[in-house]
Every structure is written in structure tokens, then in C-alpha cells.
Structure 1
Amino acid sequence: MSGAGAPQANLKRKETKKLKLAIVAASWHTQIMDGLLDGALRAATDAGIKKPTVVRVPGTFELPVAAAHLVEEYDAVVALGVVIRGGTPHFDYVCEAATQGLTKVAVESKTPVGFGVLTCDNEQQGIDRAGLAGSQEDKGYEATAAALETVVALRNI
């Protein structure tokens, strides 16, 4: 796991506190998902956003359709999920569908969609990235910060 070279979040409350933020989170792998969601909510708080909308869906495969619905009403959407490799090609199909689906939603709607989907070979990799006590990274926070900073960047064009 790298993490090296990652930009520092620059959440400017003046520019972000009035943004409408939605977070859509999968439900599989509860410990990891709770960490990702906590990180996303912490980033929202740091940005001055008091009440982001949180929507839970069954799994990572359902993230794109939920995000497509939410972009109509929100300035930014953050998608959080985790897929852990197993012994079948299911991992590849779900990861590709989520990635392509969320990319399509962002590009077609012109709304930033934070990509907080962990694609891991094992559960420990997810724990290491979930922002939990002892984790090396906080991908929920990072995905939220990236989406909010992109809104600000696009508005400054």
C-alpha cells in the first residue's frame, strides 16, 4: 500500500460549508464500511457541512444506481464500498461495474463523485485503508475531500 504522494485535503469552510453532500455506502463488511463512513462524515464536518445525507445500499454493485439518483439533488456524491477478492471472477465483475458505473454517473451528470471503493485481496487490506484505529489510510475521508475539492475547483473555472 502506497499512500505516498497523496495530496493534503484543503477543505475551505467558506467554500464548502453550503454544499449539499450525499454519501452512499454499501453494507457488506461492516467493520470496514463503518470506518469508511466515519471518515466521510469527519471530512464533511471538517468542510463545515453539518448534515450530509447518508444512504445505505446492499452492496458495491448498487452504488452507481444510487449515485445516479443522488446527483440530481446534490453538489457532490461520495460512493463507499469494499470488495474483497474471493475464489471466483465475481470480484472482477463487481469492481469493474462499480468503477465504470460511478465514472459514467460523474461524467454524464458533471457532478463530482468521490470514489471510496476499496478493491482488496484480503480483509486486512480493507482494514488498513478504512480509517480505523491503527489503519494506515482513511479512504472515506480522502474520497469525500476529493469530491468537495472538485466542486470548488469546477466552480472556480
Structure 2
Amino acid sequence: MAGFGEPGIDTVDAAGLTVGVVTARWHGELTDHMLERAVAAADACGARSVVARVAGSVELPVVAQALARRYDVVVALGVVVRGATAHFDYVCRSVTDGLTRVALDEGKPVGHGVLTVNTIEQARDRAGLPGSAEDKGWATTVAVLDAALAVRGLARTTQRVGFDA
């Protein structure tokens, strides 16, 4: 993230919604904290959370899909740090494409809270630790709940929109 232009949404009223959170164990010091922040954000928004853990970020999409079939929204959390090989690119593409597919196939918002960074220091600065510039666990959860409320609002709209309305 560029560090500017954030919408500044701290919480939303998501009472009655359930957030499925799937978190990678890789880089556990960071992902454990991101998970804590995601659950805290769900609580602050009045939503319930259900947590699942997986080994690494590549495993996130399949569990995200299982969660999306049962719950209102999904948050996927992980950390992928660039190394000396192309593996970083394959992992990032796989995770992003997989999570996008889950959201579209299941018709549910899926939050992409996977940090894709060049250095572990960049990850620490985004993981919501004390002194971090960003808090992706919190921000991703609030964003996905906000999207669910938008989708819910559209479902209630009976007015037609578009050129042929």
C-alpha cells in the first residue's frame, strides 16, 4: 500500500454478521498479531468471528472458500516476503487469483489481508504491531464487513438502474 488515500473507516455496524478468518502460520509472530487485530475489529463492529489456521498463504483460498460457504464474509491473512527466486511471484499470484475466485464464485466479500512485501521490516510496519504504520488485520476486516453491508443494501434495492431503467 502506498500509505495514502486510505478511506479512514474505523468500524461499521455489522451486528448479526459472521466473519470467517483464515490465517497462515508462516511468519507466525506477525500473522498471530494480525489475527488478534482481525478478531478485535469484528468484535468492535458487532460481528462474530470464526477462525481457521493453515500452514502457508497458498492454502488460504481453499479454506477461504469453505468459510465463504458457511459465513457472511471471509478475511484471509498471511505474509509473503520476496526472496531470491520467482517463488514469491507464483505464491502472490496464486493467492490473489484464488481469493478473487472465491469471492466471485461464492458471491461473498473476501478480504485480502496477505502482506506481499520485499522485507520482513515492511511486513512488521503493516501488521498492526505497536508503532506500525498500518494495521492490515483490522483494516481488512472492517473493509470486508463494509462490503458485505453494501451488498446487503443492494439486495434490498428494488429500483432498476442503468440505461434501460
TM-score normalized by the length of structure 2: 0.90
Deviation of 1:10 (Å): 5.2
AA partner of residue 102 (structure 1):
L
RMSD (Å), alpha carbons: 1.1
Higher relative contact order (CA closer than 8 Å, sequence separation 6+): 1
| Alpha-carbon distance between aligned partners in 2 of 1:138 and 1:78, rounded to the nearest angstrom | 14
Partner of 1:17: 15
**8 A Cα contact 2:79 2:116, kept in partner:** yes
The alignment of Structure 1 onto Structure 2 pairs a total of residues equal to 154
Q: Which runs of 5+ in 1 are unaligned?
A: none
Which of 58, 61, 74 is the equivalent residue of 2:55? Answer: 58
Partner of 2:108: 111
Structure 2 residue 27 is the aligned partner of structure 1 residue 35: no
Q: Percent identity among equivalent residues? A: 47
For structure 1, which segment, 1-10 or 78-87, has the greater mean C-alpha deviation from structure 2 after superposition? 1-10
> Mapping of 1:1-157 within 5 angstroms?
2-9=2-9, 11-13=11-13, 16-49=14-47, 51-157=48-154
Deviations 1:68-119 (A, max 9, x none): 1111110000000110011111111000000000000001111000110100
SS at match of 2:129: coil
**8 A Cα contact 1:10 1:149, kept in partner:** no
AA partner of residue 2 (structure 2):
S
Q: Which runs of 5+ in 2 are unaligned?
A: 155-165
**8 A Cα contact 1:60 1:81, kept in partner:** yes
Whose radius of gyration is greater, 1 or 2?
2
Q: Which structure 1 residue ranges, 4+ long, deviate > 4 Å from structure 2?
A: none
AA partner of residue 20 (structure 2):
A
| Alpha-carbon distance between aligned partners in 1 of 2:38 and 2:111, rounded to the nearest angstrom | 10
